């Protein structure tokens, strides 16, 4: 019986020569970013390509804050959360003049290509940078939200899901002991991927996500009916944070008006930290390593992701034009499991 690899990797023929590349992490940190950086560095060095590590994302690029990395620079980091290159959001990079200034900084350093690890905002910036300056760019999807078009998985999603799941399992012990309902808020301003997967895995009684409008009366009625039937004296309601401030507190207040007294637990940034799972380490290592092969094969302005068990390339422009939708069948499954 043939054992298949975790991912099917593309066969890429090198057609160009590159001597120096740079790598940065941008936006929100995600577990596994260090493994991705390591994959980039070790793969590049094996092909005699020098690598500059840029500190604090695009902000560090604009400040010319970077240094050469060697094999020792990325030793003993795959098990560490966060990103040792640090990360930051950079409003200044929205300005085309600053993007051209960044290109000049790279050229002065002799850097011929840039690898960007981050979420949709970071990869949008990478696309605009390549489009305006012509410097080759490869993007890697690093975000716990798993909301990037063209890839089924993102670096950090698996770890964040398991971190939230572990917390909810503990919260449920208290919920059952005191016969209480808990609103547990997980990250996801514009996407319910994390909330949906966590909710199903945790056996949550309800999942509320930004993709679908919340009908508080229906939520209250369902909870009250379950309580009266003796099947819902306690329970977990997973809420994606959404893009409205204090959304979860607002939901709690509205439920109180219907005679319920839910408790609130906001998991917050705990979901972004901690040791990356084995899955995220392998995913990040594969994508980081293969990004160098894509550059040598002449690719640019793409994101390297995964689909149907294979590593794939997706035009960065597609990430801007299309949105990755939440499969409504997942929520349907959640509802069927907890009736």
DSSP state of 135: -
Cα–Cα dist 234/226, whole Å = 9
The continuous run of DSSP H or E covering 99 comes out as helix 96-108
What is the total residue count of the chain? Answer: 339
Give the ranges where the chain is alpha helix by DSSP (H): 33-46, 57-62, 96-108, 120-133, 157-178, 193-202, 216-228, 247-256, 278-296, 316-321, 328-337
Tokens in use for 136?
């080759």
Cα–Cα dist 57/83, whole Å = 10
Placement of tokens 């999942």 in the chain? 207
Q: What is residue 338's three-state secondary structure?
A: coil
Cα–Cα dist 192/67, whole Å = 38
DSSP state of 35: H
Q: What is the CA radius of gyration of the chain?
A: 22
Cα–Cα dist 252/332, whole Å = 24
Tokens in use for 196?
């949906």
Identify whether 145 is a catalytic site residue. Answer: yes
Cα–Cα dist 49/136, whole Å = 15
Nearest of 38, 29, 27, 52 to residue 122 by alpha carbon: 27
Contact between residue 207 and residue 259 where contact means Cβ atoms under 8 Å apart: no
Nearest of 27, 91, 102, 90 to residue 59 by alpha carbon: 90
Nearest of 333, 314, 332, 334 to residue 324 by alpha carbon: 314
Q: Which of 145, 153, 280, 301 is catalytic?
A: 145
Catalytic residues: 145
């Amino acid at each position: 019986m043939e054992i298949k690899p975790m991912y099917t990797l593309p066969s890429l023929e090198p057609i160009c020569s590159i001597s120096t590349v740079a790598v940065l992490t941008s936006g929100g940190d995600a577990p596994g970013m260090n493994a991705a950086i390591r994959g980039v560095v070790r793969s590049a060095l094996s092909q005699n390509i020098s690598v500059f590590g840029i500190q604090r994302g695009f902000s560090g690029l604009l400040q010319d804050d970077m240094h050469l990395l060697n094999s020792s620079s990325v030793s003993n980091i795959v098990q560490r959360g966060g990103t040792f290159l640090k990360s930051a959001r950079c409003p200044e990079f929205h300005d085309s003049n600053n993007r051209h200034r960044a290109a000049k900084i790279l050229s002065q350093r002799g850097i011929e290509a840039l690898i960007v690890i981050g979420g949709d905002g970071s990869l949008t910036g990478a696309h605009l940078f390549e489009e305006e300056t012509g410097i080759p760019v490869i993007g890697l999807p690093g975000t716990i939200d798993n909301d990037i078009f063209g890839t089924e998985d993102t670096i950090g999603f698996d770890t964040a899901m398991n971190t939230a799941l572990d917390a909810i399992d503990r919260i449920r012990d208290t919920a059952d002991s005191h016969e209480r309902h808990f609103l547990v808020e997980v990250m996801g301003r514009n996407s319910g991927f994390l909330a949906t997967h966590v909710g199903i895995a945790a056996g949550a009684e309800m999942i509320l996500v930004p993709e679908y409008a919340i009908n508080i009366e229906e939520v209250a009625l369902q909870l009250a009916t379950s309580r009266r039937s003796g099947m819902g004296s306690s329970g977990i309601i997973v809420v994606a944070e959404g893009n409205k401030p204090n959304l979860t507190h607002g939901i709690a207040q509205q439920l109180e008006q219907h005679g319920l007294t839910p408790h609130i637990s906001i998991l917050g940034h705990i979901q972004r930290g901690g040791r990356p799972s084995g899955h995220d380490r392998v995913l990040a290592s594969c994508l980081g390593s293969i990004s160098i092969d894509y550059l040598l094969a002449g690719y640019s302005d793409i994101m390297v992701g995964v689909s149907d068990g294979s590593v794939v390339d997706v035009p960065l422009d597609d990430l801007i034009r299309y949105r990755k939708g939440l499969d409504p069948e997942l929520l349907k499954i959640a509802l069927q499991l907890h009736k």
